[in-house]
Structure 1
Amino acid sequence: MSENKKFPNQVAVCGSSSPGVGIAAGPPHEALFLVLSYLPLFELLSMGAVCVSLRDAVEHDVLPWLHLVVDRPLSSRLNDYILGRIARKADGRLRTLALINCFKISDSALHEVVQNNPLLTKLYVPGCTSLTPEGVIRAVETLSQHSHNLNSLMIGGIYNIENEHLEVLKYYLLKNRSQQQQQQQQQQRRLYHKDIEASKLLRNECVAMIDVEMCPKCQEMGRVYDCSRERCKIKQEQKFGAECRGCSGCVPRCEECGGCVDGDETEEAVCVGVLCTSCWLQLPKCNHCNKPYCTRHRQNVASSSAAGFVCEVCIET
Structure 2
Amino acid sequence: MEIAKSMELATLSHKQSSFAGPPHEALFLVLAYLPLFELLSMSEVCRSLRDAVEKDVLPWLNIIVERPLSLRLSDEILMKIASKANGRLRTLVLMYCAKITDDGLQRVIDQNPLISKLHIPGCTGLTPDGVIRALQKLSDCQDGLKSLWINGIANMKKEHLERLQFYLQTNQKLSQIQQKRRPLLYHNYRRLRAYRLEELGRVIDVELCPKCNEVRVVFDCPREECKRKRENSMTGCRMCMFCIPRCEECGKCVENGELEETVCADTLCLDCWIQLPKCNFCNKPCCTQHANMQIASTGSIGWICSVCHDKSDDFE
Q: Could you say whether these structures have the same fold, taking a TM-score greater than 0.5 normalized by the shorter chain as the test?
A: yes
Q: Cα deviations across residues 187-238 of structure 1 (Å, max 9, x unaligned)?
A: x212111113554446974362211222222222222212221101101111
**CA distance in structure 2 between the partners assigned to 1:204 and 1:174 by the alignment:** 14
Match of 1:273 in 2: 266
Q: Offset at 1:12?
A: 10
Q: Is residue 79 of structure 1 aligned with residue 87 of structure 2?
A: no
Match of 1:46 in 2: 41
Q: Offset at 1:168?
A: 0.9
Q: SS of the residue aligned with 2:200? A: coil
Match of 2:51 in 1: 56
**CA distance in structure 1 between the partners assigned to 2:172 and 2:283 by the alignment:** 49
The answer to whether the 8 Å contact 1:256/1:279 transfers is yes
Match of 1:256 in 2: 249
Q: Is residue 89 of structure 1 aligned with residue 96 of structure 2?
A: no
The answer to whether the 8 Å contact 2:177/2:202 transfers is no
The structure whose residues are more often helix, as a share, is 2
Cα distance change on mapping 1:304 and 1:151 into 2, 3 Å: farther
1:217 to 211, 217, 234: 211
Match of 1:302 in 2: 295
Q: Offset at 1:304?
A: 6.7
**CA distance in structure 1 between the partners assigned to 2:285 and 2:180 by the alignment:** 36
Match of 2:278 in 1: 285
Match of 1:3 in 2: none
The answer to whether the 8 Å contact 2:177/2:201 transfers is no
Question: Comparing 220-229 with 82-91, which one deviates more in the overlay?
Answer: 220-229
Cα distance change on mapping 1:196 and 1:161 into 2, 3 Å: same
Match of 2:188 in 1: 194
The answer to whether the 8 Å contact 1:201/1:207 transfers is no
**CA distance in structure 2 between the partners assigned to 1:300 and 1:225 by the alignment:** 28
One-letter amino acid of the counterpart of residue 280, structure 1: W
Match of 2:7 in 1: none
2:232 to 229, 233, 238: 238
Instruction: Indicate the percent of aligned positions where both proteins have the same amino acid.
Output: 55
The answer to whether the 8 Å contact 1:118/1:147 transfers is no
- RMSD over aligned Cα, in angstroms? 2.8
Q: Is residue 311 of structure 1 aligned with residue 305 of structure 2?
A: yes
**CA distance in structure 1 between the partners assigned to 2:186 and 2:269 by the alignment:** 13
The answer to whether the 8 Å contact 2:197/2:203 transfers is no
Q: Offset at 1:29?
A: 5.6
Q: Is residue 154 of structure 1 aligned with residue 159 of structure 2?
A: no
Q: What residue ranges of structure 1 are gaps of 5+ in the alignment?
A: 1-10, 18-25
The answer to whether the 8 Å contact 1:100/1:199 transfers is no
Q: Is residue 131 of structure 1 aligned with residue 126 of structure 2?
A: yes
**CA distance in structure 1 between the partners assigned to 2:29 and 2:243 by the alignment:** 46
Q: Offset at 1:70?
A: 0.7
Q: SS of the residue aligned with 1:169? A: helix
- Paired residue total: 296
Cα distance change on mapping 1:269 and 1:87 into 2, 3 Å: same
Q: Offset at 1:169?
A: 0.7
Q: Cα deviations across residues 7-58 of structure 1 (Å, max 9, x unaligned)?
A: xxxx997xx79xxxxxxxx976644422323433112213334555433221
Q: Is residue 247 of structure 1 aligned with residue 243 of structure 2?
A: no
One-letter amino acid of the counterpart of residue 176, structure 2: Q
